[in-house]
Every structure is written in C-alpha cells, then in structure tokens.
Amino acid sequence: MSSMEERGEVGVAAAPGSSGGVGAVGAALETVVGGPSMQEEVGFRRGEGLGPESDPDEPPPKKRMRLPEGESGKLEERLYSVLCCTVCLDLPKASVYQCTNGHLMCAGCFIHLLADSRLKEEQATCPNCRCEITKSLCCRNLAVEKAVSELPTDCPFCLKQFPRSSLERHQREECQDRVTQCKYKRIGCPWKGPFHELPAHEEECCHPTKTGTELMGILGEMDQSHSRELTLYNSIFSLLCYEKIGFTGRLEVQFRPYRTDDFITRLYYESPRFTVLNQTWVLKARVNDSERNPNLSCKRTLSFQLILKSKVNSAIECSFLLLKGPYDDVRIKPVIHHHAFSNDTNETDYVPLPITDSVECNKLLAAKNINLRLFIFQIQK
C-alpha cells in the first residue's frame, strides 16, 4: 500500500508538474547533446511539427535569406552592373532595347549604333556578341525598364535618394532645393535659386517698384522674341491662301544614301523624283556639310537642297518648307525658304534642316529611309 501511495504521489507530482518532468528531460538532453542551443533548436522544430496551424499537406514555408548589414548597397551596385547599357555603361533613362541574345542597350545608344551603320554602309551589330541588330530584330525589355525605374538615385538638388520613377515628380513639385525663378521674371528679374529661398526673395525683389520707363525697355526685348514667332506663323497662314499649293501627299519624300564618285568619297542622300505643281523635283541632303567621316563625329547636322528637274519657259518663284513625315517622332521647327527657279538656277543652296539636336538627327539617320514632307507654294505675279 505504501508502494502504491508512493507511485500515486509520484504520478500526482508528475501530472501537475509536467514542466518539472520536461525540465528534467531537458537537463538530461542538455547533458547528452551538449548545450541549450541544441535544445532550443529541437524545441523549435518540435513546435513547427506539432503546432495547431501547421498543415501536413502544405509544403514547408520558404526560408527568407537575411543579408548581412551593408549587403544591400552591394546588391544595388550589382544590379547597376547587370542592368546598365552595354554601350555607355550607364543605367537607361527611358526605353531599353535588347538584341536577340539579350544584351541591353539604352534608346540613345541603340539609335546611335543604327545611325553609324547607315553612315558607314555596314550592318549594325551588337557591341557584345556581334549579332545583327535592327529595329525589327530588337525589342524593348519592359521588365528591365520597370526594374530600373525602382532603383534608387540621388536628387541632384537635395542629394536625397528616391526611386527613379518618382524622381522627376520630386524635382518638379516637391524638392525644396530645386532651382526656380522669381515670379517677376516677366518684367526682367533674372534671379534663380533654391525653392526654399523664393518667398524671401520675392518680398525683397526690386522689380515691382521699377518705373514704367524701365519696364518698357525690358518688355521691348521680350516682344522681339515673340514677334519673330508670330511672324513665322502669320507667314505660314498667308502661304496657305495661295492659289497653287503642292505637297508630297501620302507618298512622303524618302532619302536613300549614295556615295560620290570623287577620289574622296562623301556620303549624301537623294530622293527619287517626285511631281509637285506639275513639275519634277529632287531633294538632296548631306550630313555635317559633306564631312568625310561623319560617323566619327558626335555632333551631327543635316542640310538639304531642292532641285528642279523640269525645263520651264519662265522663272517660277516659290516658297517651300520641310516638315516631318507621317508616323515619325522627330521634332522639326518649320522654316520658310524662298527661291526663284529657272533653267539656269534650278538648285537652291544647301540650307540646314531645322532639327533641335544631334539626337533628332540620329533618329533620322537610323531609319532605313529619311521620311520628310515637302510643301511648295508658288507665288503668282
């Protein structure tokens, strides 16, 4: 009976004191496996296997890799090297193109490679793998474009980091150090400075207190620039009132590259013959004013010449201008030119094509054909 009581006491002691029993087992485990760390690991795995929320049919949760401190910056640097353009080694700011083997190129370098190949009359190739690249073979990589837009970059004004996708809005609306101008710039205030200094400057700006005579001189200079633009548009509207107006219609002028027969060959572009106002015409163009190797120059310009191929009985006085062709994204400023065509003076001088910069010129040169639309207005005497 005493032995049974002793067993009962032991049982009663073991039941409510189960923690004590586990503690004893834990002490034994600690002595066997060699420390509390292994005991905690065993308990952690036991908790995973016996927890009420675990489902034996579900796959085990993936372990998340934790990078050591300082590794995030290295990861960004590695992404920069992976996502950068293979030509300029910089992160693309807009569209990203890839060759058939996946090498990345920013839009500017891609267009520049195509333009160089056209000037050298060679096939454009990828700088890495030398595979053929064209606008039809290469495609945009939208995944890389989105990944680049989420990478951090420094604001050039406040030096804080923002995702590239939101940097433009920050610089335009939010940055307190962005460069801004005084609201009295319309009356000649030249002040430029950080946005947070703008209220203090406008309170002390002296231009609102200038006399009318002083303001008239400032406004006169501004009126001159506006009058030039107004004169251009008024001239275009007056030309549209002419009786004889011709343009290249749906078949826009297409330039194709040629080489001269001189000892030093030079590249020029010439359009096929086309008919406007019952006369036959040809357009010629040259790069960098017939420079020998325009592909070695970063700055590029285009100039063109209008040639009358028909024989005429009397001189034809015309005004003409070139605009971009349909479905092109090249920015061309309209400029009106005048010339009196005759059998002796059937060619105009070379005049610059009014494009904004070399990037727009490369867009034209990169295309298989340079598409422009020509308007000719015959002046009636």
Does residue 16 sit within a domain?
Answer: no
- Is residue 32, in this structure, part of any structural domain at all? no
Within-domain flag for 86: yes
Looking at the structure, do residues 196 and 227 belong to the same domain, yes or no? Answer: no
Task: Look at residue 9 in the predicted model and tell me its pLDDT.
Answer: 43
Looking at the structure, tell me whether residues 276 and 181 fall in a common domain: no
Q: Which residue has the higher pLDDT, 358 or 143?
A: 143
Q: Is the pLDDT of residue 340 over 90?
A: yes
**93: which residues sit within 8 A by CB, 6+ positions away?**
106
Indicate which CATH number applies to the domain containing 346.
2.60.210
Calculate the average pLDDT of the chain: 77
Residue 10 lies in a domain: no
CA dihedral 121, 123, 127, 128 (to 10 degrees): -160
The pLDDT-based confidence of 64 (bands split at 50, 70, 90) is: very low
What percent of the chain shows pLDDT beyond 70?
75
DSSP 167: H
Q: Do 121 and 180 lie in a common domain?
A: no
Our count of domains for the chain comes to: 4
Print the domain residue range for 216: 211-240
Are residues 374 and 257 both part of a single domain? Answer: yes
Report, as an integer, the average pLDDT of 199-208.
88
In a domain, 36, yes or no: no
CATH code of the domain containing 121: 3.30.40.10
Q: In the listed set 150, 170, 191, which residue is the last one of a domain according to the structure? A: 150
With respect to residue 44, please indicate whether it lies within any of the assigned structural domains.
no
Q: Are residues 223 and 114 located together in one domain of the fold?
A: no
Bridge partners (DSSP) listed for residue 322: 374
- Average pLDDT in the 48-58 region? 45
Q: Give 117's pLDDT tier (boundaries 50, 70, 90).
A: confident
- Specify the pLDDT at position 358: 83
pLDDT reported for residue 293: 73
The predicted-structure confidence for 145-177, as pLDDT tens digits, reads as follows 999 988 888 898 998 988 888 888 999 889 999
**Quick one: pLDDT at residue 252?**
53
Q: Which residue has the higher pLDDT, 52 or 258?
A: 258
Beta strand spans in the chain (E): 96-98, 104-106, 139-140, 152-154, 161-163, 179-181, 192-194, 244-247, 253-259, 267-270, 274-276, 279-287, 302-308, 316-324, 337-341, 351-352, 370-378
Share of the chain above pLDDT 90, in %: 27
* Cα dist from 302 to 62, 261, 376, whole Å: 60, 21, 20
Residues 271 and 186 in one domain: no
Alpha-carbon distance values, 3 to 7, 9, 13, 14, 191 (Å): 6, 10, 15, 16, 103
Worst-scoring range by mean pLDDT, 41-50, 129-138, 224-233, 240-249? 41-50
**Residue among 316, 322, 350, 315 at smallest CA distance from 336:** 322
Do the domain assignments include residue 355? yes
Q: What phi and psi, each to the nearest 5 degrees, are found at residue 15? A: -70, -60
Residue 261 banded pLDDT, cuts 50, 70, 90: low
369 and 262, same domain (yes or no)? yes
Q: Indicate if 119 and 190 belong to the same structural domain.
A: no
Higher-pLDDT residue of 17, 191: 191
185 shares its domain with 305: no
pLDDT exceeds 60 at position 287: yes
Q: Do 199 and 215 share a domain, yes or no?
A: no
* One domain for residues 368 and 305: yes
Does residue 127 belong to any structural domain of this protein? yes
Could you identify the residue written with the tokens 């203090």?
200
Are 171 and 193 in the same domain? yes
